[in-house]
Structure 1
Amino acid sequence: MREGKFLKNNMDKWKQIQQEPASSPDEMARQFTELVNDLGYAKTFYPRSKVTEYLNGLASRIYLTIYRNKKEEKSRILHFWKTELPLTIRRYHRELLYSFCIFLLFAIMAAFSAAQDETFVRGVLGNAYVEMTEDNIEKGDPFGVYKGTDEWSMFLQIALNNIRVSFMVFVSGVFAGIGTVYMLFSNGMMLGSFQYYFFAKGLGWPSVLVIWIHGTLEISAIIIAGAAGFVIAGHLLFPGTYTRLQSLMTGAKNGLKIMIGLVPVFIVAAFFEGFITRHSTMPAWLSIGILLLSLFFIIWYFVWYPISLSRKMKNAPKLPVSI
């Protein structure tokens, strides 16, 4: 094979390996095996070519990463949360953006529809819930719904419900993403209607201070679960050089990693809703502090830190180790 054709056939793959760090040890091992095979071919037919030097450097970099990861196996859990999961999230930031935009669009549509038609909120949230809330407003306790059950029962009930809803959003991605879009539509409509209802009653700011104590993490988890659903859909619809089944399995594995990363978010959101949201008369500064800390964590761990870590790994010095 001519060197030019060799480059044309493989350059896209090499660039992807160089620019997108592997999200799992299995993927890293596969990349390393492919590079070693390509390097062996290049050394045989183009021993003094720059492509041979390039492949040697790229393979060496992955080799050193594998060696370093072997020493980290004793802290596998720490490695997962500190490195593996953030790199997986970074790989699918585009899907995360799609999920956020779709959810926000549906929430805005719901709020606009509720402003045009006063029966819209009842159609989305149900007559029973609206009447119960109106009754609580008349009693002077508009957020009494969060006080109807003891703390531990509510915590467990909300945690299980959050996990159920988010995993439904994730698993629905297997239907070419249509199921995930529908779940984002359903939850976005409920949020937009719910929030508009309180603003229409003159309780907009109090509702933000109370509901978004737990809602910041809860809604963020649904959006991130939507991104995990789009990961499955993307691998199903665009398998690339893999078989559709192989690509689907990879997408499901990477999406499941993201869902595992959401488990602490589910639990903390349920704790806030079960134990803290019920104290609707807490000082505004405390409520705002909890809300902002939750928002900061989501942006830091799921957006900023993955970008920073990815850049750091890409800019790591390439040592001239010969394979």
Structure 2
Amino acid sequence: MREVAFIKQNKEKWLEFEQAIFGKAKKNPDEIASLYIHLVNDLSYAQTYYPKSKTVIYLNHLAALTYQKIYKTKREETNRVAYFFKTEVPLIVYNNRRYVLYAFIMFFIFTAIGVLSASKDENFVRVILGDEYVNMTLKNIDEGNPVAVYKSGGSVGSFIGITLNNLKVGAYMFIFGITGGIMTMYFLFQNAVMLGSFQYFFYEKGVFWESVRGIWIHGCMEIFGMVMECAAGLIFGAALLFPKTFSRVESLKTGFKSGLKIWVSTLPFTFAAGVLEGFVTRYSPDMPRVLNIAIILITLAAITYYYLIYPYKVNKRIAQPAK
């Protein structure tokens, strides 16, 4: 069957799915489950005969949303928090993976701009970070501890201040998606350029690896989380700019909910990064190198798996054709 004929044959049924998902047609969980069985069969057919078409993307998105609708109302679902992190967020990330990709691409581009700018202009780092901070870091380098700044202040106070700041930045990135993602990208630009120029500064002073061992103990979760918060803002912004087949209001509601859930999912990582920065990073120069590297690799692996690998596994599990 040609794809056009396949679409024409099933269009009305798919529209019924949309109405059920977005509450325009009242259906009980059993009816939605029945629709879901038909939907995954259509998805399986499309994946077989039109593997690279937009039809597959559309049906996969509907299947994920329908799945969430079913399991959100199941009586046996007792642990809403577990479902949220184990199923709901990974599905949202999978269905919006293009925005995750865009966020990472922009992050690397902006970081490269920071590196390049710092390499071409020795005063650039001072413009970005301020003379006081740069002079303090130079003093720390001369004293043999490039990341001594993380020892300043008490552990608890550092944890609270750092975590609150990171929460604020993440919230701004998401909420300002309402600008069509422009301000979201601006906040990412600010932070990525700062990171790139700061890391080049350490490289130029010959203490790059010493800085990596300190900064990235907490930085893996902090920076990765920031990129995901940017993706949340882009999803929100895209819902405003590109409503597709939905009304702009309905699209905006869906984009807001999806972005909000991704932002909420970053909170545990933000708190974990704050704990590491407040209580662990300060000891990085003195801890065994193996332990230092292990913390960096474990934290990077954990957040990478959750956002970049696990969503594909969850989607594969729910998109299996009905037997």
- Class of the TM-score when normalised by the shorter of the 2 chains: 0.7 to 0.9
Whole-angstrom distance in 2 between the partners of 1:265 and 1:63? 26
Q: Does 1:249 align with 2:246?
A: no
Q: Which moved more, 1:265-274 or 1:117-126?
A: 117-126
**Equivalent residue for 2:91, pick from 71, 87, 90:** 87
- Displacement of 1:9 after TM fit? 8.4
Q: Which residue of 2 is the match for residue 209 of structure 1? A: 213
Structure 1, unpaired ranges of 5+: 41-52
State the aligned residue count.
293
Would you say the 8 A contact 1:72–1:79 is kept in 2?
no
Greater Rg, structure 1 or structure 2?
Answer: 1
**Equivalent residue for 2:21, pick from 17, 27, 30:** 27
Q: Which residue of 2 is the match for residue 283 of structure 1? A: 288
Whole-angstrom distance in 2 between the partners of 1:96 and 1:63? 22
Counterpart mapping for 1:37-52 below 5 A: none
Whole-angstrom distance in 1 between the partners of 2:91 and 2:288? 38
Would you say the 8 A contact 1:231–1:255 is kept in 2?
yes
- Displacement of 1:132 after TM fit? 1.1
- Displacement of 1:89 after TM fit? 1.1
Q: Which residue of 2 is the match for residue 296 of structure 1? A: 301
Q: Which residue of 2 is the match for residue 198 of structure 1? A: 202
Q: Cα 1:65–1:145, aligned 2, differ >3 Å: closer, same or farther?
A: closer
Aligned AA (1:278): R
Deviation sequence 1:23-67 (CA, Å, 0-9, x none)? xxx837669959x79x99xxxxxxxxxxxx957967xx9699827
Q: Cα 1:225–1:55, aligned 2, differ >3 Å: closer, same or farther?
A: closer
Would you say the 8 A contact 1:32–1:63 is kept in 2?
no
**Equivalent residue for 1:232, pick from 236, 244, 262:** 236
Whole-angstrom distance in 1 between the partners of 2:306 and 2:298? 12
Whole-angstrom distance in 2 between the partners of 1:183 and 1:16? 40
The SS at the match of 1:73 is coil
Q: Which residue of 2 is the match for residue 309 of structure 1? A: 314
Counterpart mapping for 1:119-268 below 5 A: 119-268=123-272
Whole-angstrom distance in 2 between the partners of 1:139 and 1:6? 71
Q: Cα 1:78–1:189, aligned 2, differ >3 Å: closer, same or farther?
A: same
Q: Cα 1:56–1:125, aligned 2, differ >3 Å: closer, same or farther?
A: closer
Whole-angstrom distance in 2 between the partners of 1:148 and 1:109? 29
Aligned AA (1:298): I
Q: Cα 1:30–1:90, aligned 2, differ >3 Å: closer, same or farther?
A: farther
Q: Percent identity?
A: 40
Q: Cα 1:275–1:32, aligned 2, differ >3 Å: closer, same or farther?
A: same
Aligned AA (1:187): N
- Displacement of 1:158 after TM fit? 0.7
Whole-angstrom distance in 2 between the partners of 1:212 and 1:57? 45
Would you say the 8 A contact 1:133–1:145 is kept in 2?
yes
Which aligned runs of 4 or more in structure 1 are off by greater than 4 angstroms?
4-7, 28-34, 53-58, 61-65
The SS at the match of 2:322 is coil
Q: Cα 1:74–1:210, aligned 2, differ >3 Å: closer, same or farther?
A: same
Alignment RMSD: 3.3
Would you say the 8 A contact 2:229–2:262 is kept in 1?
yes
Q: Which moved more, 1:8-17 or 1:109-118?
A: 8-17
Provide the TM-score with structure 1 as the length reference: 0.81
Whole-angstrom distance in 1 between the partners of 2:133 and 2:21? 48
Whole-angstrom distance in 1 between the partners of 2:234 and 2:297? 28
Deviation sequence 1:55-90 (CA, Å, 0-9, x none)? 7967xx969982795133312111111111111111
Q: Does 1:8 align with 2:13?
A: no
Q: Cα 1:109–1:75, aligned 2, differ >3 Å: closer, same or farther?
A: same
Whole-angstrom distance in 1 between the partners of 2:185 and 2:94? 21
Whole-angstrom distance in 1 between the partners of 2:91 and 2:306? 11
